[in-house]
Structure 1
Amino acid sequence: MKFLWILCASHLFTAACRVSRGGKPPNFVFFVIDDLGIGDLGCFGNTTMRTPAMDKLAAEGVKLTQHIAAAPLCTPSRAAFLTGRYPIRSGMAGRTILGVFIIAASSGGLPTEEVTFAKLAKQHGYSTALIGKWHLGLNCERNDDLCHHPHSHGFDHFYGIPITHLRDCLPGHGTIFINIFVHLPYGHLWIWVATALVLHALGVIAVSRKAVLAAAFLAVVLLACLLLFVLTFPDLNCFLMRNGEVVEQPYTSENLTQKMTREAVQFLERNAGRPFLLFFSFIQVHTALFASPAFKGRSKHGLYGDAVEEVDWSVGKIIETLDRLKLSDDTLVYVTSDNGPHLEEVSDGEMYGGFSGIYRAGKSTNWEGGIRVPAIARWPGVIPANKQIDEPTSNMDLFPTVVKLVGAATPEDREIDGRDLMPLLLGQVERSEHEFMFHYCNAHLNAVRWHPANSTSIWKMFFFTPNFYPENSTGCFHTHICFCTKEYVTYHDPPLLFDLSKDPSESNPLNPENEPLYKDVLRSIREAVARHSLTLTNVPNQLSLVNVVWNPWLQPCCSSPFQLCRCEKDQM
Structure 2
Amino acid sequence: MLRLEHSWSWLALALAVLLGAKPSACGPPPGPRPNILLLMADDLGIGDVGCYGNTTIRTPNIDRLAADGVRLTQHLAAAPLCTPSRAAFLTGRYPLRSGKWHLGLSCASPDDHCHHPLNHGFDHFYGMPFSMMADCERWELSEKRAVLESRLDVCFQLVALATLTLTIGKLTHLIPGASWTLVIWSAVVCLLLFATSCLVGALIMHADCFLMRNHSIAEQPMRSQRTTPLMLQEVSSFVKRHKQGPFLLFVSFLHVHTPLVTTENFRGRSPHGLYGDNTEEMDWMVGQILETLDTEGLTNSTLVYFTSDHGGSLEARFGNNQYGGWNGIYKGGKGMAGWEGGIRVPGIFRWPGVLPAGRVIHEPTSLMDIFPTVVHLAGGQVPQDRVVDGRDLLALLQGTARHSDHEFLMHYCESFLHAARWHQRDRGAVWKVHFTTPIFQPDGAGACYGQIVCPCSGNRVTHHAPPLLFDLSRDPSEAHALTPDTEPSFHQVVETVARAVAAHRQTLIPVPLQLDAADNTWKPWLQPCCGRFPFCWCDRDADPR
TM-score bracket for the superposition, by shorter chain length: 0.7 to 0.9
Change in Cα spacing, 1:188 to 1:458, as seen in structure 2 (3 Å) is farther
**Residue 77 of structure 2 contacts residue 343 of structure 2 at CA under 8 Å; is this kept in 1?**
yes
Show the counterpart of 1:27.
35
Q: How do 1:352-367 residues align onto structure 2 when only pairs under 5 Å count?
A: 352-366=323-337, 367=339
Amino acid aligned to 1:417 = D
**Aligned ranges 1:62-461 → 2 under 5 Å:** 62-93=70-101, 100-101=102-103, 137-173=104-140, 175-177=142-144, 229-366=200-337, 367-461=339-433
The counterpart of 2:522, out of the listed 539, 550, 567, is 550
Q: Which deviations, in whole Å up to 9, do the C-alpha atoms of 1:464-515 show, x marking residues without a partner?
A: 1112246776961111311212122122121111111111111112233432
1:519 paired to 2:491: yes
Aligned partner letter, 1:77: S
- Decide whether the 8 Å contact of 2:135 with 2:145 is kept in 1: no
RMSD over aligned Cα atoms = 3.3
Matched, 1:43 2:15: no
Offset of residue 142 of structure 1: 1.2
> Identity, % of aligned pairs?
49
Deviations 1:239-296 (A, max 9, x none): 1111111111111112312210111011000101121011000001000112112211
Rounded Cα–Cα distance in structure 2 between residues aligned with 1:462 and 1:377: 30
- CA-to-aligned-CA distance 1:329-373 (integer Å, 9 cap, x gap): 111100000011111012344110111110112111121111000
Answer whether contact 2:314 2:333 (CA < 8 A) is retained.
yes
Q: Could you tell me which residue of structure 2 aligns to residue 59 of structure 1?
A: 67
CA distance in 2, matches of 1:444, 1:163: 25
For the residues of structure 1 that align with 2:146 and 2:489, how far apart are their CA atoms?
43
**What is the number of equivalent residue pairs in this alignment?**
507
Aligned amino acid, residue 380 of structure 1: P
Contact preservation (8 Å) 2:368, 2:390: yes
Q: CA deviation at 1:37?
A: 0.6
Q: Which amino acid aligns with 1:305?
A: G
In structure 2, distance between residues paired with 1:180 and 1:392: 39
- Pairwise CA distance, 1:447: 0.7
Is the 1:190–1:218 contact (alpha carbons within 8 Å) kept by the matching residues of 2? no
Question: Which amino acid in the other structure matches residue 289 of structure 1?
Answer: L
Instruction: Provide the secondary structure at the position in 2 that maps to 1:251.
Output: coil
In structure 1, C-alpha distance between the alignment counterparts of 2:176 and 2:194, rounded to whole Å: 21
Counterpart in 2 of 1:113?
none
Residue 158 of structure 1 aligns with an amino acid whose one-letter code is F
Residue 509 of structure 2 aligns with which residue? 537
Q: What is the CA–CA distance in structure 2 between the aligned matches of 1:422 and 1:263, rounded to whole Å? A: 29
Partner of 1:483: 455
State whether residues 284 and 290 of structure 1, in contact with CA within 8 Å, keep that contact through their aligned partners in structure 2. yes
After superposition, what is the alpha-carbon deviation per residue over 1:57-100, rounded to whole angstroms, capped at 9, x for unaligned?
1000000000000000000000000000000000114xxxxxx3
Q: Determine if contact 2:69/2:358 at 8 Å carries over to the other structure.
A: yes
CA distance in 1, matches of 2:500, 2:27: 38
Q: TM-score of the superposition, structure 1-length normalised?
A: 0.82
Report Cα offsets for 1:418-453 as digits up to 9, x if no partner: 000101001011111111111110111111111123
> Quick one: which amino acid aligns to residue 111 of structure 2?
D
**What are the ranges of 5 or more consecutive residues in structure 1 without an aligned counterpart?**
1-14, 94-99, 102-136, 202-207
> CA, structure 1 residues 504+271, in 2 after alignment: closer, same or farther (shift >3 Å)?
same
Q: Secondary structure at the match of 2:464?
A: strand
Counterpart amino acid of residue 432 in structure 2: K
Preserved CA contact (<8 Å) 1:197 1:216:
no
Counterpart of 1:460 in 2: which secondary structure? strand
2:11 alignment counterpart: none
Q: Does the residue aligned with 1:320 lie in a helix, a strand or coil? A: helix
Structure 2: which 5+ runs fail to align? 1-23, 167-174, 178-182
- On the 8 A contact 1:344/1:476 being kept in 2, the answer is yes
